[in-house]
């Protein structure tokens, strides 16, 4: 028996496949959804799910939630004097699901297919796999949540070739995936997302709105008060499901505060979050090379898509009503269960080939010639670009830049920034090379990325045939999107002369954003334009900088138009 598991930010659940199709497994409370909350008391007692969530309101310092957002990072959660990583906390949730499944099925469960957001990078996917292993599960496959949902909706059984956009807004993450069905092949064309955008943020907006109107200093509330406020905000949020108004009630300093909030006011307050949703949609369409009108069907998954303002936003954006016939909370787990049946080659499942894509660009650090004979290190050379169908293998030939070099270092990176230091470091390889004049020795760097997010790097010296190989293993350190953006801003600030600080800073940031949104030849052209502007800034000549700034602005305007 292979379980299908949706390890969610807010809730998790498990399912299995039967002759009648996929079925959800109830937990020990008879419910399908298990809150992804962990609490540990003074005696070391572990609580998971609804109990832990309830306990968190009373003892917030001994509980943790929303830890999925930090999977694969070195962030620690202190529960009663002991530190735990996000993957350790996730393993407690997975173990609970495993025990519930064994009790329900009356048999031992040792294998699972676990879903992750499509936009999870290599580090986060590996951390999820380790969490499963810590829970006593052999993880047969890590499957992207939108792909699992597409399977649950039966999109692979459509009678004609179609294009689908899966809109996945969960408790803590947002994904958009574009899939295309061709005969018996369900192909992921592009993915994009935001690992720090979800239903939790829509709850926070209500908390802030209420506190502002009631004159409550939210930043001065203790953790216990905040957890209570959050619970009331969630209840208020659910109230919009069947009404255009909802009531927010909260006890502050012994006084009952009560407020009615209109759906319109809530929608206005969420405008910034809704705008953040647009960007991954635009990026995925661009990467897939298709237009909005080319999408045949929009599918909703993730608990946050039950919010009326989200559904209204999606319908307005796509000019059609989205498909939400499968419970958005349950679709991913059901799809993971069907995937497990495919893994077992269950005859009840239609034979279908599923393809996935690499969610982030994989590349290496290189030096680039800035002026004749002058090289600048720290640049990024993409090898497997984001949204390349996997499994994939690509080779890049790199050359020496100094006479009599005896070694070359291959710094393995993942990310979209043109500067190496702003991308995620996955490891490095050193290889010895014969002494020769600059440019006469070269190496072939081959990256191979498979469906389980395992990256193999092979470096071969062209002249001697000597080869070194490494399968990338996970590390704990990782930068969040916010940290990368901060690093980029810091870098831009340091390069800008004071008199042009603000205008040039904004233009550089815009260029960096467009670079990260671009792929292929356009990415190279954007980088060249930014390098040209960088050189102008270094002259400290106002006229040269002004002319270069106008040229770069016109170029970026043309790209975005």
Task: Give the three-state DSSP class for 503.
Answer: helix
Distance between CA atoms of 166 and 183, rounded to whole angstroms? 19
Query: What residues contact residue 29 under an 8 Å CB cut-off, 6+ apart?
Result: 49, 50
Q: What is the pLDDT of residue 17?
A: 92
Query: Closest Cα partner for 121 from 281, 357, 356, 360?
Result: 360
- Give the chain's largest Cα–Cα span: 80
Phi/psi for 266 (5° steps) reads -65, -40
Q: Is residue 457 within 8 Å of residue 410, measured between CB atoms?
A: yes
Which CATH number does the domain 2-197+273-357 belong to among 3.30.1380.20, 3.40.630.30, 3.30.420.40, 3.20.20.70?
3.30.420.40
H/E segment holding residue 374: strand 374-384
| Cα distance between residue 152 and residue 134, in whole Å | 27
Check for a shared fold between 199-271 and 362-471: no
> Residue 536's closest CA among 491, 503, 496?
496
Q: Is the peptide bond before 391 cis (omega within 30 degrees of 0)?
A: yes
Question: SS3 for 184?
Answer: coil
Report how far residue 530's alpha carbon sits from residue 385's, in angstroms, rounded to the nearest whole number.
20
Token code pair at residue 549: 């700034």
In the CATH scheme, what is the code of domain 199-271?
3.90.640.10
* Local structure of 438: helix, strand or coil: coil
Instruction: Say whether 333 sits in a helix, a strand or coil.
Output: helix
Q: Are 207 and 229 in contact (CB under 8 A)?
A: yes
User: How many C-beta atoms lie closer than 10 Å to residue 110's C-beta?
Assistant: 13
Domain residue spans of the chain: 2-197+273-357, 199-271, 362-471, 481-560
Cα separation, 10 vs 49, in Å, equals: 10
The alpha carbon torsion through 548, 550, 555, 559 (nearest 10 deg) reads 140
| Contact present, 145 and 6 (Cβ < 8 Å) | yes
Helix (H, G, I), strand (E, B) or coil at 393: strand
Beta strands (DSSP E) in 305-360 are 353-357
Nearest alpha carbon to residue 470 among 518, 430, 511? 430
Q: Which pLDDT score is estimated for 410?
A: 95
CB count in 10 Å sphere of residue 543: 9
- Adjacent-strand bridge partners of 76: 85
Q: Which two tokens stand for residue 5?
A: 């598991």
* Per-residue tokens: 40: 């540990």
Rounded Cα distance between 468 and 431, Å, is: 7
Token pair in block for residue 310: 């989200």
String of DSSP letters for 243-293: -SEEEEEEEETTEEEEEEEEHHHHHHHTHHHHHHHHHHHHHHHHHHT--GG
How confident is the model at residue 114, as a pLDDT?
95
Contact status, residue 475 vs residue 123, Cβ threshold 8 Å:
yes
End-to-end CA distance of the chain: 53
Q: Kindly give the confidence (pLDDT) of every residue in the chain, 561 residues in length, as a single tens digit, with 9 standing for 90 and above.
A: 899 999 999 999 999 998 888 999 999 888 999 999 998 888 778 889 888 888 888 888 889 999 999 998 889 999 888 888 898 899 999 999 999 999 999 999 999 999 998 878 778 888 898 888 888 898 888 888 888 888 888 766 666 788 999 999 998 889 999 988 887 777 888 989 898 999 999 999 999 999 999 999 999 999 889 988 998 999 999 999 888 999 998 988 878 899 999 999 999 999 999 999 999 999 999 999 999 889 999 999 998 999 999 999 999 999 989 988 889 999 999 999 988 888 776 655 655 667 788 888 999 999 998 888 788 999 999 999 998 988 899 999 999 999 999 999 999 999 999 999 999 898 899 999 999 999 999 999 999 988 767 789 999 999 999 999 987 743 433 434 454 344 334 323 223 334 345 577 668 867 887 887 788 888 899 999 999 998 988 888 888 888 998 999 899 888 876
Give yes or no for a contact between 430 and 409, defined as CB atoms under 8 angstroms apart.
yes
pTM of the model: 0.73
What's the pLDDT at 156?
64
Distance between CA atoms of 200 and 173, rounded to whole angstroms?
9
Q: Which CATH class is domain 362-471?
A: mainly beta
């Amino acid at each position: 028996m292979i379980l299908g598991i949706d390890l969610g930010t807010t809730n998790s659940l498990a399912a299995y496949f039967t002759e009648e199709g996929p079925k959800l497994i109830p937990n020990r409370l008879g419910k399908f959804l298990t809150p992804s909350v962990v609490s540990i008391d003074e005696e070391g007692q572990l609580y998971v799910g609804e109990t832990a969530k309830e306990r968190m309101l009373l003892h917030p310092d001994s509980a943790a939630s929303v830890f999925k957002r930090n999977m694969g990072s070195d962030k620690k959660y202190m529960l009663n004097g002991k530190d735990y990583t996000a993957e350790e906390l996730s393993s407690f949730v997975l173990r609970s699901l495993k025990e519930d499944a064994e009790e329900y099925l009356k048999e031992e469960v040792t294998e699972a297919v676990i879903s992750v957001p499509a936009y999870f990078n290599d580090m986060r996917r590996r951390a999820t796999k380790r969490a499963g292993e810590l829970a006593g599960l052999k993880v047969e496959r890590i499957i992207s949540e939108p792909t699992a949902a597409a399977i649950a909706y039966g999109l692979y059984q459509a009678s004609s070739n179609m294009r689908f956009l899966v809109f996945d807004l969960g408790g803590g993450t947002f994904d958009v995936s574009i899939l295309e069905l061709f005969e018996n092949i369900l192909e992921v064309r592009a993915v994009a997302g935001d690992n720090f955008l979800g239903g939790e943020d829509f709850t926070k907006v209500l908390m802030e709105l209420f506190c502002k109107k009631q004159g409550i200093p939210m930043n001065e509330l203790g953790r216990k008060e905040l957890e209570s406020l959050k619970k009331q905000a969630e209840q208020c949020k659910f109230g919009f499901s069947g009404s255009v108004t909802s009531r927010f009630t909260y006890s502050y300093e012994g006084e009952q505060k009560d407020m009615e909030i209109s759906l319109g006011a809530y929608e206005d307050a969420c405008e910034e979050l809704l705008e953040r949703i647009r960007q991954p949609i635009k990026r995925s369409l661009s990467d897939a090379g298709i237009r909005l009108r080319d999408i045949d069907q929009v599918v909703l998954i993730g608990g946050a898509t039950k919010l009326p303002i989200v559904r209204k936003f999606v319908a307005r954006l796509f000019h059609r009503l989205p498909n939400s016939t499968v419970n958005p909370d349950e679709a991913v787990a059901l799809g993971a269960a069907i995937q497990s049946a495919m893994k077992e080659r269950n005859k009840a499942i239609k034979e279908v080939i599923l393809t996935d894509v690499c969610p982030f660009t994989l590349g290496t650090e290189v030096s680039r010639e800035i002026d004749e004979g002058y090289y600048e290190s720290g640049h990024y050379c993409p090898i497997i670009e984001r949204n390349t169908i996997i499994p994939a293998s690509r080779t890049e030939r790199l050359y020496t830049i100094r006479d009599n070099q005896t070694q070359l270092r291959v710094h393995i990176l993942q990310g979209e920034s043109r500067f190496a230091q702003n991308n995620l470091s996955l490891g490095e390889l050193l290889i010895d090379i014969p002494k020769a004049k600059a440019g006469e020795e070269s190496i072939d760097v081959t990256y191979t990325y498979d469906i389980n997010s395992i990256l193999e790097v092979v470096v071969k010296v062209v002249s001697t045939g000597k080869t070194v190989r490494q399968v990338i293993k996970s590390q704990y350190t990782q930068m969040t999107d916010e940290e990368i953006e901060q690093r980029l801003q810091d870098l831009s600030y340091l390069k800008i002369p004071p008199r042009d600080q603000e205008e040039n800073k904004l233009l550089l940031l815009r260029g960096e954003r467009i670079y990260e949104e671009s792929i292929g030849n356009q990415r190279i052209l954007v980088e060249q334009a930014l390098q040209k502007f960088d050189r102008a800034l270094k002259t400290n000549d106002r006229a040269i900088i002004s002319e270069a700034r106008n040229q770069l602005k016109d170029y970026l305007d043309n790209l975005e138009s």
